[in-house]
């Protein structure tokens, strides 16, 4: 009998990426198993999930506000709505397991699943455990992690295990740099920097590019991914290409075209860059968990702090790297070795131990 597997995640692409990689591997190995996805109505995850043919269901958003706002008063009611909707979906589809990788969407789903004795597994991407994983740790059979910890981070979970993080580009065949540059209409003999702020974009990175594009184009070509509804629509210029969002295949072309990547420091993006061995400058969100990610990759990336001098600091580091091919090569190698990734095989082997056998 085929198993049903519920994947839960959304709001940003961070917790979505490893789940999509897991699904790609699992569905090839166990084509009889069925999947459903529980996500958010407004998040960026819906399009790539539905493109895989995975049935997509939403529950109400119940994210705890980070700042003092009236939503703190309504949040308990929002959470109860989300929990009720999650329970209804679980009762309808009766999954054999629920799998998450962080994000607020998983909390009501996993808690509802635990009440129904459905096993749950989550993955911790970032170095600093997220509140959504901490909130469900006692309901999980195992929590897997991208980083090795000297001390156990999830004390209320029976098992904690570091694994190679599933990544969508493992085993892919990236195009040659020259061909990828041609794909975007760039001069193949001039360097290209890729600027990407994650699935929802980064206003700080966008401004550092868009308000200084003339300066950038004096030294390099720019491939800029702004995030949906983030672009300020500067005029198109020779050597500058801008997109709000790229699907997997187009993003692989973009990574391949880039001589240097400037990125936010979420682990979803970092694992892409590690898999593809790209020399990387990271700009972590100020006062966030992303700062700890960069702190634990000291020789694998260059960190630039977000500040009023962001453009100047980025520009200076880009010029240094463009003049030093050996430094770029070393950074790419260190990142690839420091952040292990795979196609989902290791995570699948762990998860399957909590599933009933697929008896034909």
Q: In angstroms, rounded to a whole number, what is the distance separating the alpha carbons of residues 342 and 295?
A: 23
pLDDT tens-place string over residues 29-56:
999 999 999 998 877 888 889 999 999 9
Percentage, residues of the chain above pLDDT 90: 79
pLDDT 10s digits, 256-271: 999 999 999 999 999 9
Regarding the domain with residue range 4-167+343-352, which homologous superfamily does it belong to in the CATH classification? Glycogen Phosphorylase B; (3.40.50.2000)
Average pLDDT, the chain: 92
127: nearest Cα among 19, 254, 284, 334? 284
pLDDT at position 70, please?
64
Cα separation, 94 vs 240, in Å, equals: 49
Q: Give yes or no for residue 233 having a pLDDT over 80.
A: no
Q: What is the maximum alpha-carbon separation in the chain? A: 63
Rounded CA-CA distance 238/217 in Å is: 8
Check residue 316 and give its pLDDT.
98
User: Could you give the residue ranges of the DSSP H alpha helices within 52-201?
Assistant: 71-93, 106-115, 131-136, 177-183
Q: How far is CA 312 from CA 27, 110, 357, in A?
A: 46, 45, 57
Query: pLDDT category, 62, cuts 50, 70, 90?
Result: confident
SS3 286: coil
Same topology, domains 4-167+343-352 and 177-338? Answer is yes
**What percent of the chain is predicted at pLDDT more than 70?**
93
Residue 36 contacts residue 7 (beta carbons within 8 Å):
yes
Grade residue 228 by pLDDT with cuts at 50, 70 and 90: confident
How confident is the model at residue 74, as a pLDDT?
66
Q: Give the domain ranges of the chain.
A: 4-167+343-352, 177-338
Query: What does the pLDDT look like over 137-193, one tens digit per residue?
Result: 999 999 999 999 989 999 999 999 999 999 999 999 999 999 999 999 999 999 999
Name the nearest CA neighbour of 53 among 80, 24, 75: 24
DSSP calls for 195-207: EE--TT--HHHHH
- With beta carbons less than 8 A apart as the criterion, state whether 110 and 140 touch: yes
User: What confidence tier does 236 reach under pLDDT thresholds 50, 70, 90?
Assistant: confident
Q: Which pLDDT value is given to residue 235? A: 63
Which long-range CB contacts under 8 A does 325-333 form with residues at least 24 apart? 327/279, 328/259, 328/260, 328/279, 329/279, 331/279, 331/280, 331/300, 331/301, 331/302, 332/277, 332/278, 332/279, 332/280, 333/277
**Homologous superfamily (CATH) for 177-338:** Glycogen Phosphorylase B; (3.40.50.2000)
Task: Provide the pLDDT confidence category of residue 356 given band limits of 50, 70 and 90.
Answer: confident
pLDDT at 197: 87
Residue 10 phi, psi (nearest 5) = 170, -175
* Buried b / exposed e along 121-132 (16+ C-beta atoms within 10 A): bbbbbbbbbbeb
188-224 residue pLDDT tens: 999 999 999 876 678 899 999 999 999 999 999 999 9
Residues in contact with 142: Cβ distance below 8 Å, sequence separation at least 6, in sequence order: 121, 157, 158, 159, 160, 161, 350, 354
- Separation of alpha carbons 219 and 206, rounded Å: 18
């Amino acid at each position: 009998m085929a198993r049903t597997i519920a994947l839960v995640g959304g709001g940003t692409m961070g917790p979505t990426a490893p789940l999509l990689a897991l699904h790609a591997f699992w569905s090839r190995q166990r084509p009889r198993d069925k999947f459903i996805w529980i996500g958010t109505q407004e998040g960026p995850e819906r399009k790539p999930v539905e493109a895989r043919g995975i049935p997509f269901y939403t529950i109400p958003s119940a994210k705890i506000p980070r700042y003092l706002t009236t939503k703190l008063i309504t949040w308990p009611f929002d959470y109860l709505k989300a929990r009720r909707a999650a329970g209804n979906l679980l009762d309808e589809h009766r999954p054999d397991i629920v799998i998450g990788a962080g994000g607020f969407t998983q909390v009501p789903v996993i808690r509802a699943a635990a009440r129904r004795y459905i096993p749950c597994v989550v993955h911790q991407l970032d170095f600093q455990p997220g509140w959504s994983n901490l909130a469900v740790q006692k309901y999980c059979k195992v929590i897997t992690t991208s980083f090795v910890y000297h001390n156990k981070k999830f004390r209320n979970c029976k098992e904690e295990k570091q694994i190679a993080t599933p990544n969508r580009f493992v085993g892919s065949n990236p195009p040659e740099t020259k061909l990828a540059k041609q794909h975007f209409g760039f001069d193949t003999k001039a360097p290209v920097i890729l600027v990407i702020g994650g699935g929802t974009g980064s206003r700080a990175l966008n401004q550092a590019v868009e308000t200084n594009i003339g300066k950038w184009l004096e030294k390099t070509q720019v491939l800029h991914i702004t995030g949906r509804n983030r672009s300020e629509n500067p005029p198109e210029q020779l050597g500058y290409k801008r997109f709000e969002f790229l699907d997997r295949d187009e993003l692989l072309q973009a990574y391949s075209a880039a001589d240097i990547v400037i990125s936010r420091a979420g682990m979803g993006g970092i694992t892409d860059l590690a898999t593809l061995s790209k020399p990387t400058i990271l700009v972590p969100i100020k006062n966030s968990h992303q700062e700890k990610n960069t702190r634990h990759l000291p020789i694998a990336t260059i960190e630039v702090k977000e500040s009023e001098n962001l453009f100047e600091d980025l520009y200076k580091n880009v010029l240094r790297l463009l003049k030093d091919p050996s430094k770029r090569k070393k950074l790419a190698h260190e990142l690839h070795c420091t952040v292990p990734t795979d196609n989902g095989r290791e995570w699948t082997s762990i998860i399957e131990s909590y599933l009933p056998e697929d008896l034909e």
